[in-house]
Structure 1
Amino acid sequence: MTRIEFYVLPDSSAAGRARAACQLASKGWQHGLAVFIRCQDAAQCAELDALLWRFRAERFIPHDLYEHDPQAPVVIGQEQPPATGQGLLINLAQSLSPHTDDFSRVIEIVNQQPELLNACRENFRLYRQRGYDPKRVEL
């Protein structure tokens, strides 16, 4: 069954959430996992694409937008299904992915912004309703 984790950040910074997504994507890729970063909208996709280009000066994180290369080691998209199964989904959208079962692991990144907190609490509840056992990880 898919492993679900909610990584909880101590602040309400959107930039901190994006940096955490890049850091997790880098770790996932280094451990041989296909990584899919699911964004809320096209603007967030473009932001993550730009951030991944400059995230680690000493190490490039191979990535691309889904529409350009769905087979990239780190894919940035929205509602698309993963081209490679059993990888890592980093969910930055406020809803559950319709493709949760296609991943071996899902990470939801939560910060202290009230609207996002409420959406993530609802996602936590929905995962439980669907038979998953989500875990909370304090960062």
Structure 2
Amino acid sequence: MTRIDFYILPEPTQANGDTVNTVCRLCEKAAASGARVYLRVPQSELAEQIDGALWSYKEGGFLSHEIDTGKPSADPQPLILIGNGEPPPTHHGILFNLGADVPTYFSRFERVLEIVPATVADRSSSRERYKFYRDRGYELKTHNL
């Protein structure tokens, strides 16, 4: 059964900065374990920020990733894909859900990481997602950052 982790961010210090940094840090851990990661990011501006940050996250290196276009890639796909559509069958290890709803395909993943920003509206939609998973019997963990 899919394990669900909620990562609750502290009060924001900059717009989207805490979310982007947290995503990069967690992606680094996931990639180090060899897991295939799909970042579900419905907001194109945030997706672009994360894309840029993954290129420069580590000094002297980057986290291998690309934006998923929904079309099959001829090259081997990197461990981390950023998208908003249906994830490819190669990436069902870890799902980062940065959307306000629960994607229909979440149960295909071994783990789902829910990033919870500090704004009232984001916390409210996160509570709804938490209830959704809890009411269906999923294992839930909460991490206050």
CA RMSD across the alignment:
1.7
Match of 1:8? 8
Q: 1:19 aligns with which of 21, 38, 58?
A: 21
Bigger drift between 118-127 and 90-99 goes to 90-99
Establish whether residue 96 from structure 1 lines up as the match of residue 102 from structure 2. Answer: yes
Distance in 2 between residues matched to 1:29 and 1:98, nearest whole Å: 24
- The DSSP-based 3-state class of the residue aligned with 2:130 is helix
SS at match of 1:134: strand
1:118 aligns with 2:120: no
Structure 1: 5+ residue runs without aligned partners?
Answer: none
Is the radius of gyration larger for structure 1 or structure 2? 2
Moved more, 69-78 or 3-12: 69-78
Opposite residue 79 of structure 1, the aligned amino acid is: G
| Structure 1: 4+ residue segments shifted above 6 A | none
Pairwise CA distance, 1:11: 1.4
Is the alpha carbon distance of 1:129 and 1:79 closer, same or farther for their aligned partners in structure 2, counting shifts above 3 Å? Answer: farther
Of 52, 56, 59 in structure 1, the residue corresponding to residue 58 of structure 2 is: 56
Post-superposition offset of 1:85: 4.6
Instruction: Kindly tell me the number of residue pairs found equivalent between the two proteins.
Output: 139
The equivalent residue for 2:112 is 106
TM superposition score normalised by structure 2: 0.87
Q: Structure 1 stretch 127-136 or stretch 24-33: which is displaced more?
A: 127-136
Cα deviation 1:43-65 (Å, max 9, x = unaligned): 22222111111111233200000
Tell me the distance in 1 between the aligned counterparts of 2:47 and 2:117. Answer: 18
SS across alignment from 2:96:
strand
How much identity, in percent, do the aligned residues show?
32
Structure 2 residue runs of 5 or longer lacking an equivalent are none
Map Cα deviations across residues 24-45 of structure 1 (whole Å, 9 max, x no partner).
1111011010011110222222
CA distance in 1, matches of 2:119, 2:131: 18
1:40 counterpart residue number:
42
Structure 2 matches for 1:64-75, cutoff 5 A?
64-67=66-69, 69=73, 71-75=77-81
Q: Distance in 2 between matches of 1:107 and 1:74?
A: 14
